[in-house]
Amino acid sequence: MAKSVQLSNGKFWSTQTAAKAHFKAILNALSDGERVTHPSDHGDLVALLQEYDRDIPEGTTKAGQGIVYFFRDRDKEHNGLTSCFYVYRTDGTSIDFSYIRAIEVTSRRGK
């Protein structure tokens, strides 16, 4: 049975595959180093990251103290072979996150 994905901003996909395609399209529309500027894309990423952070121990969340913006860059954990989303936080730090892992965590929760 397909697992649906529901975000707090009201976005819903009937399958993980559909949700992954949505976020992949956002990522692929950017070049490395480029910020997410479309308000609905930013909103979708905020909602996805909030869901993801619910499963991360307090104090180690990806959003940290707050989100300023998202951007695409090379994934350092994979030797720069792939690109991924990064979140730039209010404390001036940035950290990468996997939209794929975030979607899988969110849909496992059975929302």
What residue ranges do the domains of the chain occupy?
5-108
pLDDT surpassing 80 at residue 102: yes
pLDDT surpassing 60 at residue 111: no
pLDDT surpassing 80 at residue 46: yes
Record the pTM. Answer: 0.89
- Tell me the β-bridge partners of 5: 13
CA-to-CA separations, 4 to 16, 38, 80, 110, in angstroms, rounded: 6, 24, 31, 8
State the burial class of residue 94 (Cβ atoms within 10 Å of its Cβ: 0-12, 13-18, 19+).
middle
Q: Which two tokens stand for residue 83?
A: 């690109």
- Tell me the β-bridge partners of 13: 5
How far is 87 from 23, CA to CA, in rounded Å? 14
Q: Give 5-108's CATH code, choosing from 3.40.30.10, 3.40.50.300, 3.40.1110.10, 3.10.450.40.
A: 3.10.450.40
User: Confidence band (pLDDT; 50, 70, 90) for 109?
Assistant: low
Mean pLDDT score across all residues of the chain: 89
